[in-house]
């Protein structure tokens, strides 16, 4: 009887410890390219695609490459593992999740903001008496 309680307690403690470690690793703070370079940590960088510098897709390595300007105005090359995100061409802003490596920001995920979905639309109000 005591052995079952001890084993159960160990399983619960290990489960809680794994959940805590997983939670700590999943939290990613917002920052800039400069902050990502300085810390070497995984970051979320908000900005916009610099369309003038183009966009390329490497089919062999399944990797997108483009340039992004962060909120501080710094422009960096971003390499994304995977295909071009939905709404990328029309997104007014994007968030790149990843870390700075050597000479580029290596993104593992890109979030795009849909331009029409979040814009305020004027509401007509009619007053009838």
**Mean pLDDT of the region 81-106:** 89
Given a contact cutoff of 8 angstroms between Cβ atoms, the answer to whether 117 and 91 are in contact is: no
> Which residue is listed with tokens 């870390």?
99
- pLDDT surpassing 70 at residue 64: yes
Burial class (CB in 10 A: 0-12, 13-18, 19+), 36: buried
Q: pTM (2 decimals)?
A: 0.68
Q: Please report, for the chain, the start and end positions of each structural domain, with discontinuous segments joined by +.
A: 29-112
Q: Encoding tokens for residue 19? A: 């959940």
pLDDT, average across residues 51-69:
90
- Tens of pLDDT, residue by residue over 96-126, are 999 999 889 999 999 888 766 555 555 555 5
User: At 11, is the pLDDT very low, low, confident or very high (cuts 50, 70, 90)?
Assistant: confident
Cβ atoms of 68 and 74 within 8 Å: the answer is no
Q: Is the pLDDT of residue 5 over 90?
A: no
**What is 29-112's CATH number?**
2.40.50.140
């Amino acid at each position: 009887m005591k052995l079952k309680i001890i084993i159960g307690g160990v399983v619960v403690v290990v489960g809680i410890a794994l959940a805590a470690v997983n939670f700590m690793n999943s939290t990613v703070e917002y920052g800039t390219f400069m902050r990502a370079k300085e810390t070497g940590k995984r970051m979320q960088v908000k900005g916009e695609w610099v369309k003038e510098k183009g966009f390329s897709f490497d089919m062999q390595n399944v990797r997108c490459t483009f340039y992004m300007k962060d909120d501080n105005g710094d422009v960096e090359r971003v390499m994304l593992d995977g295909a071009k995100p939905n709404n990328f061409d029309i997104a007014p802003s994007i968030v790149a999740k990843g870390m700075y490596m050597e000479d580029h920001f290596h993104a593992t995920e890109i979030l795009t903001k849909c331009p029409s979905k979040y814009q305020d639309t004027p509401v007509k109000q009619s007053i009838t008496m």
